[in-house]
Amino acid sequence: MPSCLSWLQNRSLVSTAGLYAFGLSSDAINLLSVNQSAKALFQAMDSLLSPEGDSQRTQYPYVTGTSVIGIKYKDGILMAADMGGSYGSTIRYKSVERLKQVGKHSLLGASGEISDFQEILKYLDELILHDNMWDDGNSLGPKEVHNYLTRVMYNRRNKFDPLWNSLVIGGVKNGQKYLGSVSMIGVHFEDDHVATGFGNHLARPILREEWREDLSFEEGVKLLEKCMRNLLYRDRSAVNKLQIAKITEEGLTISQPYSLKTFWNFAAFQNPTVGAEGSW
Amino acid sequence: MPKEHANWSPYDNNGGTCVAIAGADYCVIAADTRMSTGYSILTRDYSKICKLKLESLMEKRIRNWLFAYLGVELASQSFRRIKDKCDFQVYLCRFMVWEYLRADKSFMASSGFQADVKALQKVLSSRHLIYQHQHNKQMSCPAMAQLLSNTLYYKRFFPYYAFNVLGGLDSEGKGCVFTYDAVGSYERVGYSAQGSGATLITPFLDNQLKSPSPLLLPAKDAVTPLSEAEAIDLVKTCFSSATERDIYTVSSYILVFSFSYAFALSRGVNESSRDQKINTRLELD
Amino acid sequence: MFRNQYDTDVTTWSPAGRLFQVEYAMEAVKQGSAAIGLRSKTHVVLACVNKANSELSSHQRKIFKVDDHIGVAIAGLTADGRVLSRYMRSECINYGYTYESPLPVGRLVVQLADKAQLNHKACGVAARPVGNVDGIPFTPGSTFLTLKSHFTCWQVCTQRSWKRPYGVGLLVAGLDESGAHLYYNCPSGNYFEYQAFAIGSRSQAAKTYLERKFENFTGSSRDELIKDALFAIRETLQGEKLTSSVCTVAVVGVGEAFNILDQATVQALINEFEISGEEGPANESVAEEAGGDAGGAAPTEAGAATEQETAPMDI
């Protein structure tokens, strides 16, 4: 049992719960898992009972980034995110980079708590460093990175200490395009286009209408800009300074920050209550 | 004082419906492919059905069988190439049915919290792999049923929010369905529905299948008298109906795995909301 | 002959810079029945000789599936081999759990080799570099943990002092994105990649056969590899008849998960290639008889002992 106990205490990021125990008796496994979950529960109760200020776990985010949108296109993946960082309803930061490269083949975009995202980047740096240190011709692709991050997010939620992010992971490896998403509690999926937060409400309907498998780069960028402009109009924490990233078999490029042309003189914008009877 | 910030929950319900029906020599298991959170759809093509790893073993057995019957020359060609030759498909199908019956395996369909479901699937398939290493065979469906129950119960005090049906064939080749709650209580039944549409589908199945009461003594067999094709049709009807009232279920795209066709899984594309035609494609692989 | 003072435990060096316990472990590999491996660009074939301990007993399994893309053949102490292949299986499962992709063969081989090292170092546990993010082990947490459980759970009975090297050699066959691979893992913790290799008793004969043929292996088909594997195995039999009951063959390759061929299949191949008996391609076996193995039917391998210039036992 000493090994089991130390396992419990070990704060492994991606614990494989129960699998290492296959050398142990089933009673041991039983004890172990029940123990572990009971512990998690007690800790959770603890944090609910005590004033939040004492908690060493995340209860709410401080500085957050808003939506990220990712699409597959003819040659790879395109992703867009603006550069705002909101402190509650204040736009506190205006040059936050939320699209980052991971290894040779992957691109990561994040919405949610910026500090948690930067912590995740540290994990990934180390992951990729260790992967490169083998220097054996094998490398982690977007699928592996997505899965790893899913494990990280899910394990943190199991500890009632979530990383407050929704992540979008895209990439190309061996001619295979990959685009997926993970939420702060570990819900994950792949799709041809994904969007986090407000983007899931405002951008994905557009993408469902207009996305095609064989979008060219120009068409893809245009589509993303259309989505981002929509978000800019309707999402109060969106800012008009964004980056678009492209990843293909050839490599990754992240654009310089730029702004979208906007038009605010729509009648509905100038007098929103016209035609909305019963409102102010 | 009201809270000013968002709170979070470790659980979510990602919706979806799973149905399984056991027959005398088959088992049909089906689920829709929508994944949602709240009123939003996350993706429209997510499989809730988990195959418990079996391909490599099947391939090996098939090759060995080919060795025995067709000689080294043919069998040495890769399995995939042989499969492409339609002449052999008939043989292969028949063979696979036979092998499949003998090797009784199981499929699990789950709805609930997707992250928990995935973790559960991963634990189960890893345990299944270990079982295969240690015993050199597939786990039987009833064994997998017990393992699933134990796995769920291990997390009794921080449960997997997962609602499962497990379908397969038992050691006699008879269809079996096991149905669960989130903490591991389970029962062998003739049919079951789980997930957001379960409340709509279960009474419908009760009415249609008229299976003998489990209270009868001596116990009567719970498997349905329907033919396999009828069962598949019934499953599709279930989804068409549930779709009408449950926003988390869609009939436009469901996955149907049927067992006595062995590997041949059918992917039912059901456009019921427009016209009542239902296309079924049977395909190998 | 006087007793060697430097061979009582693995932590004592001889003045000549040798660790005798390790060398003895390598001897154990030579005592085991033969195992061979060979690879083409797309496939790796493992084969081994099954030797029963007595007329009345069955033989020990010597080839193990580790995962769909990796398998091992062992020679030496089969008990140690089982422990190590269980370790390898668990590493593969854990990697698959974290990344949903197969563990690259070369990486598993290095971890395995490190384990051999750890085992005969006095302090075993803290060994593999584990990246740290505020006290959190970074590499999936796996290596670290599994090692511990190995020490406490499995090795306690036979290796309480933690001072015995593993007495087994492993031929590791596998496939990953950089192609098909064949590695040999030695009890010393050394590992080598090979085009073809043979270990165990009378393996020299097989090695000679493989050395003569290996240049053609790269382009070989799966069946040609199996054929060469059977020929190589036959070389180690010293005139004994090759039947499916005295050998096991396993394959892994592109589009083919690691699998151990069943007896009927192997017998069919033996018959097909007509390699059962001594007759074979006559000139080949004659060459073997002459050059390959001086030891003849002697149970221990005299040939190998002489080529080592000093037998480690007496100095």
C281 vs C165, residue with greater confidence: C165
Q: Residue B129 and residue C264: Cβ atoms within 8 Å? A: no
CA B245 to chain centroid, in Å, comes to 23
- At which residue do the structure tokens 């060469």 appear? C228
The answer to whether C176 touches C69, Cβ cutoff 8 Å, is yes
Tell me the shortest Cα–Cα distance from C99 to chain B, in angstroms: 11
Task: Tell me which residues of A are annotated as active site.
Answer: 58
Q: Which residue has the higher pLDDT, A127 or B255?
A: A127
**Percent helix, strand and coil across chain A, each rounded to 5?**
40, 25, 35
Q: Contact, B46 vs A188, CB < 8 A? A: no
Testing the interface with B: which of A55, A72, A188 to mutate, by most B Cβ within 10 A? A188
- Average pLDDT for A58-85: 96
Smallest Cβ–Cβ distance between A3 and the set C94, C142, C148 belongs to: C148
Q: How far apart are CA C219 and CA C199, in angstroms?
A: 24
- pLDDT value at residue B267: 34
CA atoms within 13 A on the CB side of A278: 0
Task: Tell me if residue A273 falls in helix, strand or coil.
Answer: coil
- Rounded distance between C-alpha atoms, residue A131 and residue C107, angstroms: 10
Higher pLDDT, A210 or A272: A210
The yes-or-no verdict on residue B276 having pLDDT over 50 is: no
Q: Rounded to a whole number, what is the distance in Å from the CA of B197 to chain A's nearest CA? A: 21
Q: Does C93 contact B at CB distance below 8 Å?
A: yes
Closest Cα in chain A to C98: A148
Looking at residue A114, what is its pLDDT? 98
User: What is the mean pLDDT of the segment spanning B36-51?
Assistant: 89
- Indicate whether A146 pLDDT > 50: yes
Q: Which of C294, C306, C309 is nearest to C208 (CA)?
A: C294
Res. C244: pLDDT tops 80 = yes
pLDDT digits (tens, 9 = 90+) for A7-43: 333 344 555 544 443 443 333 333 334 445 555 555 5
From the number of C-beta atoms within 10 Å of its C-beta (0-12, 13-18, 19+), residue A150 rates as buried
Closest CA to B200 of B237, B229, B161, B255: B237
Q: Counting Cβ atoms within 10 Å, is residue C36 exposed (0-12), middle (13-18) or buried (19+)? A: buried
- Distance in angstroms (rounded) separating the CA atoms of residues A193 and A69: 8
Q: Is the dihedral of CA B167, B172, B173, B175 positive or negative?
A: negative
Q: Report CB contact under 8 Å: B56, C259.
A: yes
- Between these two residues, C71 and B218, which has the higher pLDDT value? C71
Are β-strands B17-22 and B27-32 bridged in parallel, bridged antiparallel, or unpaired?
antiparallel
With CA atoms as reference, the chain C residue closest to A6 would be C145
Highest mean pLDDT among A114-128, B92-106, C12-26: A114-128
Q: Give yes or no for a contact between B249 and B15, defined as CB atoms under 8 angstroms apart.
A: yes
Looking at residue A52, what DSSP letter applies?
A: G
pLDDT at A78: 98
CB contacts of B45 in chain A (<8 Å) are: 191
**How does pLDDT run across A167-186, given as a tens digit for each residue?**
999 999 999 999 999 999 99
- Which residues have a Cβ under 8 Å from the Cβ of C60 and sit 6 or more positions away? C50, C78
pLDDT of residue C39 exceeding 90: yes
| Least trusted range by pLDDT, from A205-209, B82-86, C52-56 | B82-86
CB within 8 Å: B76 and C257? no
Please say if the pLDDT value at position A279 is more than 80. Answer: no
User: How would residue B141 be classed by pLDDT, with cut points 50, 70 and 90?
Assistant: confident
pLDDT: which is higher, A267 or A4: A267
Residues A70 and A168 sit within 8 Å (Cβ to Cβ): yes
Chain B, 71 to 110: residues with Cβ < 8 Å from chain C are 71-72, 76, 78-80
**pLDDT average, residue stretch C183-209:** 95
Residue of B nearest to A23 (CA): B130
What ipTM did this prediction achieve? 0.82
- For the beta carbon of residue A4, count every other beta carbon within 10 angstroms: 21
Which residue's entry shows tokens 């069998």? B75
Q: How confident is the model at residue B83 (pLDDT cuts 50, 70, 90)?
A: very low
Residue contact B72–C221, C-beta within 8 A:
no
Q: How far apart are CA A75 and CA A248, in angstroms?
A: 6
Q: What is the average pLDDT value for chain B, to the nearest integer?
A: 75
DSSP code per residue over A99-157: EEEETTTEEEEEEEEHHHHHHHHHHHHHHHHHHHHH-SS----HHHHHHHHHHHHHHHH
Buried b (16+ CB within 10 A) or exposed e, A41-69: eeeeeebeeeeeeeeeebbebbbbbbbbb
- pLDDT band at B165; cut points 50, 70, 90: very high
Average pLDDT over residues C55-73: 94
Closest to C133 (Cβ–Cβ): which among A123, A134, A143? Answer: A123
pLDDT at position C198, please?
97
If 0-12 CB within 10 Å is exposed, 13-18 middle and 19+ buried, where does residue A112 land?
Answer: buried
User: Which residue among B14, B130, B158 sits closest to A22, beta carbon to beta carbon?
Assistant: B130
pLDDT at A46: 52
Which pLDDT does position B229 carry in this prediction? 82
By C-alpha distance, the chain C residue nearest A136 is C106
pLDDT in tens, C72-86: 999 999 999 999 999
Asked whether residue C298 carries a pLDDT value surpassing 60, the answer given is: no
Output the six-digit token pair for B263: 């590997």
Please give the distance of CA C114 from its chain centroid, rounded to a whole number.
16
| Interface touch C255/B68, C-beta < 8 Å | no
Q: How far is C262 from chain A, CA to nearest CA, in Å? A: 28
Q: Provide the shortest C-alpha distance from residue C189 to chain A (in Å).
A: 17
Q: What is the DSSP annotation of B55-76?
A: HHHHHHHHHHHHHHHHHHHHHT
Q: Which residues contact C2 (CB under 8 A, 6 or more apart)?
A: none
Measured between beta carbons, which residues in chain B are less than 8 angstroms from residue A160?
10
Summarised one tens digit per residue, pLDDT across range C102-115 is 999 999 999 998 88
State the pLDDT at residue B232. Answer: 83
C14's CB contacts (< 8 A; 6+ apart) are: C4, C6, C7, C20, C315
Residue C303 pLDDT grade (very low, low, confident, very high; cuts 50, 70, 90): very low
8 A C-beta contact, residue C155 and residue C83 = yes
Residue B233's pLDDT is what?
86
Pairing status of strand C132-133 against strand A85-87: unpaired
Per-residue pLDDT band for A154 (boundaries 50, 70, 90) equals very high
Cis peptide before B218 (omega within 30 of 0): yes
pLDDT score at B107: 85
Res A109 pLDDT > 70: yes
Give the closest of B79, B126, B133 to C97, CB-based. B126
Q: Which of C65, C257, C265 sits opposite B67 (nearest CB)?
A: C265
Short-list B50, B44, B52, CA closest to B16: B44
Q: What pLDDT was estimated at residue B71?
A: 41
Inspect the interface and report whether the beta carbons of B67 and C65 lie closer than 8 Å. Answer: no
Predicted pLDDT of residue B268: 35
Bigger pLDDT: C304 or C234? C234
Which pLDDT band, with edges at 50, 70 and 90, does A267 fall under? confident
Mean pLDDT comparison of A217-221, B5-9, B216-220, highest-scoring range? A217-221
- The whole-number pLDDT of residue A270 equals 85
pLDDT band per the 50, 70, 90 thresholds, residue B1: low
Task: Tell me: pLDDT of B172 over 90.
Answer: no
- Report pLDDT digits (tens) over C132-156: 333 333 333 333 333 333 333 333 3
CB within 8 Å of chain C, chain B residues 130-189: 130, 133
Assigned token pair, A122: 């540290």
pLDDT at A61 over 50: yes
- Please give the angle made by the CA atoms of C10, C16 and C18, to the nearest 5 degrees: 30
Average pLDDT on B257-266 reads 45
Residues 6+ away with beta carbon under 8 Å from C76: C25, C28, C29, C31, C32, C166, C167, C168, C169, C187, C200
Among C268, C246, C248, C272, residue whose Cα is nearest residue C260: C248
Cα angle at B96 between B91 and B100, to 5 degrees?
Answer: 160
- A26, A71, A189: best mutation site toward chain B, by most B Cβ within 10 Å? A189
Token duo for residue A214: 């064989």
Arithmetic mean of pLDDT over chain C? 78
Whether the Cβ atoms of residue C94 and residue C140 lie closer than 8 Å to each other: yes
> Which residue did the predictor score with more confidence, C282 or A251?
A251
> Which residues in chain A touch residue C98, judged by CB atoms under 8 angstroms apart?
14, 16, 147-148, 151
Provide the pLDDT confidence category of residue C1 given band limits of 50, 70 and 90.
low
Mean of per-residue pLDDT scores for chain A: 85
Q: What is the pLDDT of residue B5?
A: 64
* A neighbours by CB contacts (3+ pairs under 8 Å): B, C
